[in-house]
Amino acid sequence: AQRVTQPEKLLSVFKGAPVELKCNYSYSGSPELFWYVQYSRQRLQLLLRHISRESIKGFTADLNKGETSFHLKKPFAQEEDSAMYYCALSEIGSGNTGKLIFGQGTTLQVKP
């Protein structure tokens, strides 16, 4: 079965500390992986996707097919990074609908 697991409900770090939000997935086909973010009182928005291999707001994520993981990392956390983060996957390939399968989310709290 397709599944995305985010083992931490809450991650609390101090400003300037490194951050790693964990995401593991279970999928039999070829997935594309995403990180979505929801800041306080804002709508859900795309942060980054593995196929783009971008760094957004200092965040990066590497797809590790052997470990079926897509952890989100940032070397130095900022207070404005405090938000809810969701890992999600979608199927790559012809006929795919683009529907997203989300993890349960991790709240990142960056303390001053």
Partner 1 sequence: GAGVSQTPSNKVTEKGKYVELRCDPISGHTALYWYRQSLGQGPEFLIYFQGTGAADDSGLPNDRFFAVRPEGSVSTLKIQRTERGDSAVYLCASSLGWGTDTQYFGPGTRLTVL
Binding site for partner 1 (CB under 8 A): 4, 6, 9, 32, 43-46, 49, 51, 86, 88, 90, 92, 96-105
Please say which residue, 17 or 51, places its beta carbon nearer to partner 1: 51
Q: How many H-runs (helices) and E-runs (strands) does the chain carry?
A: 0, 11
Direct distance between the N- and C-terminal alpha carbons of the chain, in angstroms, rounded to an integer: 41
Q: How far is the CB of 18 from partner 1 (least distance, A)?
A: 24
- Least distance between partner 1 and beta carbon 86 (Å): 5
CB 7 within 8 A of CB 58: no
To partner 1, the closest distance from the beta carbon of 9 in angstroms equals 8
Query: 3-class SS at 43?
Result: coil
